[in-house]
């Protein structure tokens, strides 16, 4: 764990609009900067409500899929040719594709030439991110993930050039999110905070964002699941997701996300749900390596912290009380695939190397078995 003597860099969009009604400021922002050819990157659900953007008859790529792959990216890139502004409108998948499309427009480069840290070229177009779920925090981040269909692995790209010019966090856009999606994305936001808080790269500057994000999820998630029109709860979760996004920049996630990734790439489980299924198990296995921080997490969530098994069971109960079935077997996962997934997860060193416990393939397999 680092201390205040260690340097840290926080990058955020130069303008962040947070609060109910902030989406109404988008048209004036676009006009004031002279953008004439905006293209929206959205999933089908959000593409059906483009009128909320107030931009009139705007061009939209409406085929963003959950767990997007390189093919989905390339189709989006072709659809956005000629744009001078890219607008990501949706959850993490839409916003990640928007980032990548924005840095690829005007550059004849495949994803393989820009993936990894610091390789993406400078943007030639504007970029706006509008979050419609309270989970990924992608709207304020510099990373994007897509799946390579040949390997089944996620390809990560990170660059300050993928930082949005404007991020809009309007909780009103999340009111229509169904209860089960609200629950899963809320746990994803919390997982971002927990993993950054317990990472080997953890930093006091980020710790405060992380712990407050965890507290916000505990305070508001059950309320939003029970009543999607609870505006205060929706705003609280939107803020928690924002804090999680802040944590991702300089610190990032660790084993929880690494172990959850094969559930998305192999079984097409939604990112939030995959993280929710794994979260209790990684929290418990990491507890002996970071007892003080685990106690703070457990105190924030109101769960017992005296033994890893009780921590795991308490975290599972927290998620289960939100209506999530916490068994992999109930989400179509095949037991025979668990050893293969353990090997796949173990290769994600960019995350696992910063986990407080150096997990072996057998330990990852044990996590899958316990979650099954």
Condensed to tens digits (0 to 9), the pLDDT of residues 60-108 reads 999 999 889 999 999 999 999 999 999 999 999 999 999 999 999 999 8
Is it the case that residue 292 has pLDDT exceeding 90?
A: yes
What's the rounded mean pLDDT across residues 192-212? Answer: 97
What's the rounded mean pLDDT across residues 147-160? Answer: 93
| Residues 18 and 242 sit within 8 Å (Cβ to Cβ) | yes
Residue-by-residue DSSP string for 80-122: TTT-SEEEEEESHHHHHHHHHHHHHTT----HHHH-EET-SPP
Q: Which of 57, 155, 133, 124 is nearest to 89 (CA)?
A: 133
User: What region, left, alpha or beta, does residue 152 occupy, with left being phi > 0 and alpha being psi -120 to 50 degrees?
Assistant: left
| pLDDT score for 2 | 66
| pLDDT score for 5 | 80
CA separation for the pair 29, 78 (Å, rounded) = 25
Confidence of residue 240 (pLDDT cuts 50, 70, 90): very high
Through-space distance between the first and last CA atoms of the chain, rounded to whole angstroms: 32
Confidence of residue 152 (pLDDT cuts 50, 70, 90): confident
202 is written with which tokens?
């953890």
Percentage of the chain surpassing pLDDT 70?
A: 99
| pLDDT score for 1 | 57
Confidence of residue 6 (pLDDT cuts 50, 70, 90): confident
Mean pLDDT value across the chain: 96
| pLDDT score for 243 | 97
Helix residue ranges, H only, 158-198: 179-198
Confidence of residue 4 (pLDDT cuts 50, 70, 90): confident
Condensed to tens digits (0 to 9), the pLDDT of residues 171-187 reads 999 999 999 999 999 99
What's the rounded mean pLDDT across residues 47-62? Answer: 97
Confidence of residue 306 (pLDDT cuts 50, 70, 90): confident
Is it the case that residue 46 has pLDDT exceeding 60?
A: yes
């Amino acid at each position: 764990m680092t201390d205040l003597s260690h340097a840290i860099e926080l990058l955020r969009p130069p303008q962040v609009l947070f609060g109910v009604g902030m989406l109404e400021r988008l048209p004036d922002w676009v006009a004031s900067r002279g953008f004439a050819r905006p293209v929206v990157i959205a999933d089908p659900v959000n593409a059906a409500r483009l009128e909320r953007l107030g931009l009139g008859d705007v061009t939209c790529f409406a085929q963003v899929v959950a767990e997007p792959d390189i093919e989905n990216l390339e189709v989006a890139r072709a659809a956005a040719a000629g744009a001078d502004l890219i607008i990501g409108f949706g959850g993490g998948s839409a916003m990640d594709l928007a980032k990548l499309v924005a840095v690829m427009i005007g550059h004849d480069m495949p994803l393989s030439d820009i993936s990894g840290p610091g390789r993406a070229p400078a943007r030639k177009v504007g970029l706006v991110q509008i979050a419609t779920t309270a989970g990924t925090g992608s709207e304020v981040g510099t990373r994007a993930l897509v799946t390579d269909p040949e390997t089944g692995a996620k390809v990560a790209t990170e660059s300050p050039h993928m930082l949005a010019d404007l991020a809009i966090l309007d909780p009103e856009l999340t009111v229509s999110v169904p209860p089960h999606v609200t629950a899963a994305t809320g746990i994803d936001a919390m997982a971002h905070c927990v993993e950054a808080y317990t990472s080997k790269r953890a930093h006091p500057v980020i710790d405060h964002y992380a712990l407050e994000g965890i507290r916000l999820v505990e305070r508001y998630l059950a309320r939003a699941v029970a009543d999607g029109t609870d505006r205060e709860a929706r705003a609280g979760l939107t803020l928690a997701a924002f804090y999680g996004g802040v944590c991702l920049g300089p610190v990032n996630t660790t084993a929880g996300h690494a172990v959850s990734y094969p559930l998305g790439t192999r079984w097409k489980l939604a990112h939030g749900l995959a993280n929710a299924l794994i979260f209790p198990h990684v929290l418990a296995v990491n507890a002996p390596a970071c007892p003080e921080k685990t106690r703070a997490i457990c105190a924030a969530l109101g769960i017992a912290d005296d033994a890893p098994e009780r921590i795991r069971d308490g975290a599972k109960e927290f998620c289960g009380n939100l209506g999530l079935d916490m068994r992999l077997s109930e989400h179509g996962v095949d037991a025979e695939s668990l050893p293969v997934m353990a090997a796949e997860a173990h290769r994600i060193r960019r995350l696992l190397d910063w986990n407080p416990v150096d997990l072996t393939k057998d330990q990852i397999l044990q996590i899958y078995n316990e979650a099954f």
